Amino acid sequence: MKIGIYPGSFDPITYGHIDIIERAAKITDKLIVSVLNNSAKNPLFSVNERVEMIKKAVEGFDNVEVESFEGLTVDYCKAKKASFMIRGLRAVTDFEYELQLAQTNRALYDKVDTVFLLTNLNYAYLSSSAVKQVIKYGGDVSKFVPQYVEAKLKEKYSK
């Protein structure tokens, strides 16, 4: 069975991530979307909140699971017996960082391959940080995130 891990911060999940999940689910037998618990990133949403939002987004897929993890992604992949790690590429600006990350991961553990997927062009400019900026200043994010994510964002910024 080909297991893929799609790791990330997902703070919060956007239509860009969902597009990658849809594509990744087609090329794996089981896809595990995993929220990295990295407090150094100072996230807006707790790990649980992020997991819950992703679970709603993947309700329609029967081969997708959602979890969280701490520590090295390669150790997590090893524990889950994953063959691939999925990463999304938006533009060339992502490439250098992602290449460095993938080569480092390969040096640590060469039994997991990083697979890069490209989003639909409509989402190629989209990032969780941009969504947070827009909502913070009262903009409309309905084209970028599902409605329940928008509601959670509004709740955070109204506090």
Q: Say how far apart CA 129 and CA 1 lie, in whole Å.
A: 35
Q: By C-beta, is 80 or 90 nearer to ligand ADP?
A: 90
- Residue 134 contacts residue 144 (beta carbons within 8 Å): yes
Reduced to 3 states, what is the DSSP secondary structure of residue 110? Answer: coil
Active-site residue, 41 included: yes
Would you tell me the crossing angle of helices 147-158 and 128-136 to the nearest 10 degrees?
A: 50
DSSP secondary structure string for all residues of 51-82: HHHHHHHTTT-TTEEEEEE-S-HHHHHHHTT-
Active-site residue, 154 included: no
Q: Among the options 2, 26, 41, 56, which is catalytic? A: 41
128 binds ligand ADP (CB under 6 A): yes
84 binds ligand ADP (CB under 6 A): no
Q: Among the options 50, 87, 128, 152, which is catalytic? A: 128
The region of 73-81, 85-93, 103-111, 150-158 touching ligand ADP under the rule CB under 6 A is 85-93
Q: Which residues in this chain contact ligand ADP in the complex, by CB under 6 A?
A: 8-10, 16-17, 20, 87-88, 90, 94, 119, 123, 126-128
Catalogue the active-site residues: 17, 41, 90, 128
